């Protein structure tokens, strides 16, 4: 289940590589690299959870984020929260009431754009686990440099000189914005331009998902 | 995105073909498809399939079992609670199995089932809001092939593999059954129980099943001949 793709060049997105079912014991897992940034996500569920965290109308989604080094920090908790809300909008939780779905994210390498890499990886892991979803979701990052130019999917060097960074997540149905996470100062026009460029670039990520799913669907069928 | 039968689909894809078919006659939506106000949407990633005349479903990769009515499953008895057994079938909660739902069981004549036993049972009640219930008899009160599985070896695999080996077109079981004698029970919950005469044969059978997951029908046939050759000692 290993896939490589080449046509991310139009938008200058970094090359993406993915392997689904990377972990044998979890219900679904994926390892995704975008350039040098690598994330590993494991999904377990729907499974039994303790009574206090059960919800009678939908599945309880839990996201655990583990960074490569150091203790869990407030920033990690914030990332967990953002990713949980993104996944929750996509998962059809009402099909699995009183159960829990756990998404565990492990940072392997962070050379810029780790948030969107982990979001994309989480989506692939959820697809692999066979959790029912309303739509898939794809994240695209961009950076605004000192001159006000917008750079899609920036790497570590570009991020150092950047004035602002933005992360956008879109759904697959109508490419509506699900999550927007920004950092730094930028003008309203720059935000709008970045949003539209990321929206068009997200199609490449959706095509990439389809590519991966088709490669393994033909084998298992 | 709009899709048609045979395509690889992702969650959020719209199926207009099914809506069009639904206007003429009733259609049955299987797993992976969901009706919403403005059409039928895909909810799982896989291949969209159709069985004539009107059944549609998505064939997806999955390891976690979601109980479904009428399926045969392999469970492990986890607890004895009064007059029911709690059986672990791999779903989000344990299934209940009444001691009266065995062949010939009465209030006086209890079936001999202990904790840790492996049972082959049928899903009688499976709903997302209720605890699943399994039985070891059919509607005539006969046990058929259901009941406690003695001895043998149980292993887990993906749900696709179960569907693949149970498919009448799959050559795996047919190629193996002439090579050496064995018993096999495949549960739709991703568990397989096997029993052969010797340890070597059991391991060979288990490896043949697990190895066939990503192979085509021709490759499965050659793998089976290969394994049988090794087992018979022709190839070392």
Mutate to test the interface with B, among A56, A208, A211, A220 (most CBs of B within 10 A): A220
User: Cβ separation of B44 and A28 shorter than 8 Å?
Assistant: no
User: Cβ separation of A48 and B93 shorter than 8 Å?
Assistant: yes
Q: Which residues of B touch A133 (CB under 8 A)?
A: 11-12, 43-44
* Closest C-alpha among B35, B44, B78 to residue A217: B44
What is the reported pLDDT for B53? 84
Report CA-CA distances (Å) from B132 to A104, A181, B6, B183. 28, 42, 32, 27
What is the reported pLDDT for A113? 92
How confident is the model over B138-156, as pLDDT tens digits? 989 889 999 999 999 999 9
What is the reported pLDDT for A56? 93
What is the reported pLDDT for A3? 47
**Superfamily assignment of B72-149 in CATH?**
Nucleic acid-binding proteins (2.40.50.140)
What lies within 8 Å, CB to CB, of B132 at 6+ separation is B67, B89, B91, B93, B95, B96, B123, B125, B126
CATH 1.10.730 corresponds to the domain B8-60:
no
What is the phi/psi pair of residue B18, to 5°? -70, -40
Distance in angstroms (rounded) separating the CA atoms of residues A130 and B65: 10
Task: With a cut of 60, say whether residue A7 has pLDDT above it.
Answer: no
Distance in angstroms (rounded) separating the CA atoms of residues B32 and B35: 10
What is the reported pLDDT for A70? 76
How confident is the model over A17-58, as pLDDT tens digits? 999 999 999 999 999 999 999 999 999 989 999 999 999 999
B153-232: which CATH topology?
Answer: Ribosomal Protein S8; Chain: A, domain 1 (3.30.1370)
Distance in angstroms (rounded) separating the CA atoms of residues B231 and B221: 15
What is the reported pLDDT for A163? 93
What lies within 8 Å, CB to CB, of B221 at 6+ separation is B171, B175
Give the ipTM.
Answer: 0.92
What is the reported pLDDT for A6? 46
Residue ranges of the domains in chain B?
A: 8-60, 72-149, 153-232
Report CA-CA distances (Å) from A100 to A24, A47, A135, A193, B93. 20, 5, 20, 39, 11
What is the reported pLDDT for B233? 81
> Given this chain, do its domains B72-149 and B153-232 carry the same CATH topology?
no
How confident is the model over A127-157, as pLDDT tens digits? 999 999 999 999 999 999 998 899 999 999 9
Q: Which residues of B touch A98 (CB under 8 A)?
A: 92-93
* Closest C-alpha among A97, A93, A78, A50 to residue A167: A78
The tokens for A177 are: 């914005």
The B residues from 12 to 71 touching A (CB cutoff 8 Å) are: 12-13, 32, 34, 41, 43-47, 59-64, 66
- Give the mean pLDDT of B27-48: 93
Is residue B235 very low, low, confident or very high in pLDDT (cuts 50, 70, 90)?
Answer: low
The DSSP element (H or E) to which B122 belongs, if any, is strand B118-125
The tokens for B220 are: 């499965």
The tokens for A206 are: 């959706």
How many angstroms away from the CA of B59 is the closest CA of chain A? 8
Could you give the domains of chain A? 2-220 (3.30.230.70)
Is residue A196 very low, low, confident or very high in pLDDT (cuts 50, 70, 90)?
Answer: very high
Q: Does B1 touch chain A if contact means CB atoms closer than 8 Å?
A: yes
Please give the share of chain B, as a percent, with pLDDT higher than 90.
Answer: 80
Task: With a cut of 90, say whether residue A62 has pLDDT above it.
Answer: yes
Please give the share of chain B, as a percent, with pLDDT higher than 70.
Answer: 99
Distance in angstroms (rounded) separating the CA atoms of residues B156 and B51: 28
How confident is the model over B162-194, as pLDDT tens digits? 999 999 999 999 999 988 999 999 999 999 999
How many angstroms away from the CA of A193 is the closest CA of chain B? 25
* Closest C-alpha among A205, A67, A42 to residue A125: A42
Task: With a cut of 80, say whether residue B68 has pLDDT above it.
Answer: yes
């Amino acid at each position: 289940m290993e896939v490589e793709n080449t046509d991310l060049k139009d938008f200058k997105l970094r090359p993406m590589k993915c392997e689904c079912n990377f972990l044998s014991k979890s219900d679904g897992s994926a390892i995704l690299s975008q350039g040098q940034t690598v994330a590993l996500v494991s999904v377990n569920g729907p499974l039994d959870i303790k009574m206090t965290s059960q919800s009678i109308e939908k599945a309880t989604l839990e996201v655990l984020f583990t960074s490569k080094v150091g203790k869990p920090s407030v920033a990690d908790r914030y990332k967990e929260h953002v990713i949980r809300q993104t996944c929750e909008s996509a998962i059809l939780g009402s099909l699995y009431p009183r159960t829990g779905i756990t998404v565990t994210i492990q940072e392997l390498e962070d050379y810029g754009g780790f948030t969107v890499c982990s979001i994309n990886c989480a989506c692939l892991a959820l697809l692999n686990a066979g959790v029912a979803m309303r739509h898939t979701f794809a994240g695209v990052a961009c950076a605004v440099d000192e001159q006000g130019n917008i750079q899609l999917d920036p790497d570590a060097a570009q991020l150092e000189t950047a004035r602002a960074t933005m992360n956008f997540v879109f759904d697959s149905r109508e490419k509506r914005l699900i999550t927007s996470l920004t950092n730094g100062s930028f003008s309203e026009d720059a935000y709008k331009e970045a949003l539209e460029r990321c929206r068009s670039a997200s199609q490449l990520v959706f095509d990439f998902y389809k590519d991966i799913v088709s490669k393994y669907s033909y084998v298992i069928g | 995105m709009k899709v048609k039968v045979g395509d690889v689909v992702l969650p959020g894809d719209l199926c207009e073909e099914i809506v069009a078919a639904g206007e003429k006659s009733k259609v049955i939506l299987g797993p992976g498809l969901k009706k919403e106000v403005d059409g039928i949407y895909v909810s799982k990633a896989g291949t969209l399939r159709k069985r004539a005349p009107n059944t549609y479903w998505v064939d997806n990769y999955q390891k976690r079992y979601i109980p479904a009515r009428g399926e045969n499953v392999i469970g492990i008895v986890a607890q004895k609670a009064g007059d029911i057994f709690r059986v672990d079938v791999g779903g989000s909660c344990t299934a209940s199995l009444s001691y009266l739902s065995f062949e010939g069981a009465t209030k006086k004549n209890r079936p001999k089932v202990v904790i840790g036993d492996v049972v082959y049972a049928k899903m009688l009640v499976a709903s997302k809001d209720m605890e699943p219930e399994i039985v070891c008899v059919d509607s005539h009160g006969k046990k058929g092939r259901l009941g406690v599985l003695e001895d043998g070896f149980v292993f887990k695999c993906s749900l696709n593999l179960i569907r693949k080996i149970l498919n009448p077109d799959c050559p795996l079981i047919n190629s193996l059954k002439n090579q050496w004698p064995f018993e096999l029970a495949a549960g739709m919950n991703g568990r397989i129980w096997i029993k052969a005469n010797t340890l070597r044969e059991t391991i060979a059978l288990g490896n043949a099943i697990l190895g066939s997951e990503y192979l085509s029908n021709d490759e499965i046939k050659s793998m089976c001949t290969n394994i049988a050759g090794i087992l018979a000692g022709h190839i070392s």
